[in-house]
Each structure stands twice: as C-alpha cells, then as structure tokens.
Amino acid sequence: MAQPSMADGHDEGQQHPVRLYLVVWVWLFILSACSYAVDYLQLQGYLRWSLILLFMILKAGLIIAVFMHMAWERLALVYAILLPGVMVLVFVALMALESDYTLATRLTYLGTDP
C-alpha cells in the first residue's frame, strides 16, 4: 500500500514561517499607532471617525486573514464567515441613508418637532 506523499496537497499540520507573524504584528502596531495619532492630533468630525474606523477595519482584516488562517481557507468558508458581516454593514448603510427620509416623513405627517 502506497504512503501518501506531502505533494498530494494534504499538508497536515502545516505551519507558517515566524517572519509572517512578526510582519503582521508590526503592521498591527503601526495601525494602532496611527489610530492613537488621530487622537493625539485632535482631529475632529467625520475625518476622525472615518480614520478610526479605517484603522479598525484594517486591523480586524489582518487578524482574520492571518491569525484565523482565512487567507488560506477555501473560498466557500471565507464567504460563509465574511459575507454576513458585509451584508450587515450594507443594511446599516441603507438604514443610515433612509433615516433622513423617515424623519422628514414623520415631521410632515405628525407635525411635531423632534
């Protein structure tokens, strides 16, 4: 009976090089420093919140891709985990866009000031 070779594509217990993890940790540190710099520079308004959210999403993406091994998973598993989160963000954006219309409709028909 033939032994399965490592060339079959079934590398059980494959480990990634330590350099990859060190590079990811350095990037996480840099992104965290940028996030703290937003507060240190006392940026205000939409610029502040958009930068904080951008750095947060980038850090979460790195953590999911490398430490949860999503970068090496099958596409179906990636879709099963990431697609619901993306859909929630789309629904939140739609609700945010519709909120002004809802408020205007309530003010028009109910006639009260919020």
% of the chain residues with pLDDT over 70: 85
What beta strand segments (E) does 1-104 contain?
none
Measured CA distances, 113 to 39, 96, 99, 105, 108 (Å): 35, 20, 16, 12, 10
Tell me how far the alpha carbon of residue 33 is from its chain's centroid: 18
Model confidence at 14: pLDDT above 90: no
**Domain boundaries, given as residue ranges, for the chain:** 16-72, 73-114
Q: What is the mean pLDDT of the chain?
A: 83
Answer with the residue of higher pLDDT: 49 or 9.
49
Span 66-102, pLDDT tens digits: 888 777 777 877 788 778 888 999 999 999 989 888 8
Which two structure tokens, joined as six digits, stand for 21?
């993890």
Query: CA 15 → CA 9, 39, 59, 70, 72, distances in Å?
Result: 14, 38, 22, 14, 12
Q: Please give the share of the chain, as a percent, with pLDDT higher than 90.
A: 39
Determine the Cα–Cα distance for residues 94 and 112; give it in Å rounded to an integer. 25
